[in-house]
Amino acid sequence: MGWTTEDMPDQQGRIALVTGANSGLGLETTRALISRGCTVLMACRSARKGEAARSQLLGSGAAGLDLLELDLSDLTSVARCAREVAERYGRLDLLINNAGLMAPPRMLSRQGYELQFAVNHLGHFALTKALLPLMDDRPQARVVTVTSGAQYFGVMAWDDLQGEQRYDRWKAYSQSKLANVMFALELNQRLQASGSAVRSLAAHPGLARTNLQPVSVAATGAWQEALAYRLMDPLFQSAAQGALPQLYAATASEAQGGEHYGPSQLGGLRGAPKQQPVARAAKDQNLRQRLWTVSESLTEHHSAAV
Tens of pLDDT, residue by residue over 135-177, are 999 999 999 999 999 999 999 999 999 999 999 999 999 999 9
- On whether the CB atoms of residues 224 and 161 are closer than 8 A, the answer is no
- Residue 215 has a pLDDT of 47
Provide the pLDDT confidence category of residue 228 given band limits of 50, 70 and 90.
low
Residue ranges per domain, the chain? 13-296
Q: Which residues contact 152 (CB under 8 A, 6 or more apart)?
A: 279
Asked if the 13-296 domain carries CATH number 3.40.50.720, the reply is: yes
Longest dimension (CA), the chain: 51
C-alpha to C-alpha distance for 59 and 50, rounded to whole angstroms: 14
Under DSSP, is residue 17 helix (H, G, I), strand (E, B) or coil?
A: strand
- Residue 232 has a pLDDT of 55
The residues annotated with a catalytic role in the active site are: 173
Say yes or no to pLDDT of 224 above 70: no
Secondary structure letter of residue 44 according to DSSP: E
- Residue 269 has a pLDDT of 75
Range in 66-80, 120-134, 200-214, 259-273 with the lowest mean pLDDT: 200-214
The order of strands in the sheet holding 65-69 is: 65-69, 39-44, 15-19, 94-97, 142-146, 199-203, 260-265, 270-275
- pLDDT (mean) for 28-37: 97
- pLDDT (mean) for 186-199: 98
